[in-house]
Amino acid sequence: MDFIFYFGDVFSPLSFLLLLGGTVGGLILGATPGLSPTMAVALLIPFTFHLEAVQGLILLGAAYTSTVAGGAVSAILLKIPGAPANIATTLDGHQMAKQGQGAKALQLSFLASAVGGIFGVLLLIFLTPLLAEWALAFGPSHLFWLAILGVTVIGSLDSASVVKGLLSGCIGLWLATIGFDDIMGAQRFIFHPSLGGGINIIAALIGLFAIPQVLTMFAKGRRSAGAEVIEVQKHSVLDATRELLRRPLALGIGTITGSIIGLIPGVGGQIAGLVAYDQTKKFSSEKEKFGKGHSEGVIAAEAANNAMVGPSLVPLLTLSIPGSPTAAVLLGGLLIHGIFPGSDLFDNHPDVAWTFINSMLVGQVLMCLFGLYVAGLAARVAQVPQSVMAAIVLALSVFGAYSVQSSMGDVYVMACLGIGMYFLERFGFSAAPLVLGLILGPIAESNFIQGGMIADATIGKASYFLSGGLNIFLISVVVASIAYSGWMELRSRRYTTKEEAQA
C-alpha cells in the first residue's frame, strides 16, 4: 500500500499541469493518423530534459495512456486507426459513426478505455512490488538471459518473419556495442567522430520511430491529404454510461484480456484489442450485430487496448525488460534521468516509481473526462494534411535529437538510423526488436562480462550461464517463444498457400 503515501505528489502544481498537458496533447497526437504512441512518446522525451525525473515520467506516462485512447477518435470517425492498438475499434466504431452514432461510439470508447486502463494500472500497482521482490534473487547470468529474452520475445512475436525479427534484434545489440567499451576502454566500430560516445539512445529512438513515418508520408506523394471526418452529433454522456453498464460482458472480457496480454512482453495492444473483440463476439448473445456497428465491439476493443498499458510496464519496472515498444521508449526516458528500473527501483526511488504509477491512475480519469469533451477537436486535428504532419515531425525530430546533448552528431545518427530503418522496414525488418537490442545491449553485455568474471573464478562459463533452475527456465522461454513464433509463421504461410491454390 506504499503507493498511497505518494498520491499527493501527483497533485503538486507542476506535476498536475504536466499530467493535464500530457493527457490533452496525447489525445490530439493519438487522434492524428500516422503518429503512433511510441513515436509520440519518443518525440516528447527531449521536452523532459529540463524537468525532474518524476515530472518527466508523468508527462511521458500521460502521453502513453492518452495516445492509445486518442487513437480511437480517428478509428471511429475516419476508419483510420490512430495506432495499431485501435484496429479492432474501426470494425464497429466506424459503422456506428456512419449510422449517426459517432458521439456515442466516442463516449463508449473513452469510458471503456478508462475502466480498462484503471484496472490495468491497479494490476501494475499490486503486481510490481511482488515481482520486484522476486527479481532481487537475480544474478548476472539471469539478468543476461532476461535481456536476451526481451530482445528475442519482441523479435519473434512482433515481426512477420521470426528470422528477420531476431536479425533486427541482433542489429540493435550490435549498435549498442558501438563506442568505447566499459572494461578496457577500447574503441569499437567507431568510424566517424559522431559515434565516439556510442549511439545516443534518445536520438536513436527518435530516428527509428519518427523518420520512417516521415518517409512513409513522403512516399504517399501529394495525395496524402487529411481524410474526411464524419460529423459528430450530440449524445448524452449519461446514456453512454448506462449503455456501458448494460454491456458487462464486453467490458469484462476486454479488461481482463487486455490486462493478461499486457503482461506478456511483446504482444501489444493490437493483439489485445483483436483477441478481446473476437472473444466478446464468441460469448455475445448478439453475435450477428458485430461488424455492423455494435457497441460491444467498441467497448471490448477499447477496454482491452487501454487495460494492457499498465501491465505492459510491469516487466519494465521490475526486471528492466520493456514489455512493448512504447515501454522501451519509456525506459529511455528513465535512463536519461539516471534512473535504472529493476528490483531496487522501489527501494532507491520509491517517490519516482509510485508517483509515476499514481499519475497514470489519475491520468486515466483525466483522459476519460477530456476525451468525452475534446474528441470533436481531436477529430479536426486528424484532418491536418500529412504533408504538414511530415514537415512538423521532421523538424521536431531534428530539434529533439539536437537538444539531447547539443550535438549535431546526434542529429546525423538520428537521420542515418531513421533512413536505414525505413528501408529495412520495406524489406520486412521491424524497429521494435532493434530498439530493444539497442536498449538492452548494454545490460546484456555488462552482465555477460560480470557473469564471466564470476564464472572464471568459480564453476566455469558454461555451467554458470547454462545451469540452475532460473537460467534453464529463462533459456526455455527464449527457445519456446522463437519456436512458437516460427510455428505460427509456418502455419500462416501454409494457410496462405492453400488459399492461393484454392483461388
Partner 1 sequence: MNQSQHIFGSGVVFAVGVWVAWISYTQAPAEAFLFPRLIASVFVVLAGWTFGKAVLGLSKVGAGISRSLCLNMLPGLAVMLIYVFWAAKALGFYTATAIAFFILLSLYDPAPHSETRTWVKRALITACFVAVMYGLFALLLSVYTPREILF
Q: Which residues bind partner 1 (CB under 8 A)?
A: 46-47, 49-50, 159-161, 163-164, 166-167, 170-171, 173-174, 177, 181, 183-184, 186, 188-189, 214-215, 217-225, 385-388, 390-392, 394-396, 398-399, 402-403, 406, 408, 411-412, 415, 419, 423-424, 426-429, 444-445, 448-449, 452, 493
- Residue 410 C-beta: closest distance to partner 1, Å: 11
- Nearer to partner 1 by C-beta: 161 or 280? 161
- Nearer to partner 1 by C-beta: 184 or 503? 184
- Residue 500 C-beta: closest distance to partner 1, Å: 11
- Nearer to partner 1 by C-beta: 4 or 480? 480
- Nearer to partner 1 by C-beta: 115 or 229? 229
- Nearer to partner 1 by C-beta: 258 or 451? 451
- Nearer to partner 1 by C-beta: 364 or 430? 430
The region, left, alpha or beta by phi > 0 then psi within -120 to 50, assigned to residue 80 is beta
- Residue 174 C-beta: closest distance to partner 1, Å: 5
List C-alpha distances in Å: 28 to 35, 40, 239, 367, 399: 10, 10, 25, 11, 21
Distance between CA atoms of residues 74 and 380, nearest Å: 10
Distance between CA atoms of residues 48 and 96, nearest Å: 39
- Nearer to partner 1 by C-beta: 7 or 49? 49
Cell of 335: 535512463
- Residue 206 C-beta: closest distance to partner 1, Å: 12
Cell of 21: 498537458
Distance between CA atoms of residues 186 and 188, nearest Å: 6
- Residue 250 C-beta: closest distance to partner 1, Å: 34
H/E stretch holding 188: strand 187-188
Which ranges in 3-139 belong to alpha helices (H)?
13-31, 37-44, 53-77, 87-96, 102-135
Within the chain, how many helices (H) and strands (E) appear? Answer: 22, 2
Fill in the amino acid letter for 390. A
Whose cell is 511521458? That residue is: 60
Whose cell is 532493434? That residue is: 434
CA 337: distance to chain centroid?
19
- Residue 502 C-beta: closest distance to partner 1, Å: 18
- Nearer to partner 1 by C-beta: 353 or 389? 389
Distance between CA atoms of residues 41 and 59, nearest Å: 9
Residue count of the chain, please give it. 503
- Residue 136 C-beta: closest distance to partner 1, Å: 25
- Residue 470 C-beta: closest distance to partner 1, Å: 21
